[in-house]
Amino acid sequence: MSYRWLKVIAIILPPLIIGGFELVRHSFLLHNLSMNAGNYLIIVLTFAVSYLFSTWMFKTIAVNNQRLATEQEMRAVYEERERLAKELHDNIAQTLFLLKVDLKKGKIAEAKGLVNSIDANVRQAIYNLRMNPGERISFSTRVENWLNEWSTVSGIDSKASIQLKEGYFSPSEEVQLFGILQEAFANIRKHSDAKSAVLVIHISPTGWEMTIEDDGKGFSVNDIKLTQYGLVMLKERVEKINAVIDISSDSNQGTRITVKGSGKSGSL
10-residue mean pLDDT series, the chain (268 residues) = 76 82 78 78 84 86 80 69 66 77 84 71 61 65 88 90 86 82 86 92 90 90 56 81 90 90 57
| 206, amino acid identity | T
Is 129 contained in some domain? no
Residue 227 and residue 141 share a domain: yes
Residue 144 and residue 37 share a domain: no
pLDDT at 202: 92
Residue 268 and residue 144 share a domain: yes
Domain that holds residue 57: 3-65
**Nearest alpha carbon to residue 38 among 20, 63, 21:** 21
Residue 245 and residue 150 share a domain: yes
What count of residues does the chain have? 268
Residue 145 and residue 230 share a domain: yes
**Could you tell me the pTM of the whole model?**
0.55
pLDDT at 212: 96
pLDDT at 128: 58
pLDDT at 174: 83
Q: Which of 65, 84, 112 is the last residue of a domain?
A: 65
pLDDT at 182: 83
Q: Give the total number of structural domains in the chain.
A: 2
Strand duo 157-162 + 196-204: pairing: parallel
Residue 61 and residue 163 share a domain: no
Is 241 contained in some domain? yes
Is 112 contained in some domain? no
**Cβ-count burial 224-238 (b if 16+ within 10 Å, e if not):** eeeeebbbebbeebb
> Going by C-beta distance under 8 Å and a sequence separation of 6 or more, which residues neighbour residue 197?
156, 157, 158, 159, 185, 188, 212, 213, 214, 215
Which helix (H) or strand (E) segment holds residue 71: the answer is: helix 35-104
Is 118 contained in some domain? no
pLDDT at 261: 92
pLDDT at 158: 94
Residue 168 and residue 264 share a domain: yes
Residue 148 and residue 255 share a domain: yes
Q: Which of 49, 65, 81 is the last residue of a domain?
A: 65
**Could you tell me the CATH number of the domain that includes residue 226?**
3.30.565.10
pLDDT at 84: 65
Is 123 contained in some domain? no
Is 126 contained in some domain? no
Is 110 contained in some domain? no
Residue 146 and residue 244 share a domain: yes
pLDDT at 80: 65
pLDDT at 52: 87
Is 192 contained in some domain? yes
Q: Which of 48, 65, 82 is the last residue of a domain?
A: 65
> Going by C-beta distance under 8 Å and a sequence separation of 6 or more, which residues neighbour residue 115?
99
The C-alpha atoms of residue 149 and residue 235 are separated, in whole angstroms, by: 25
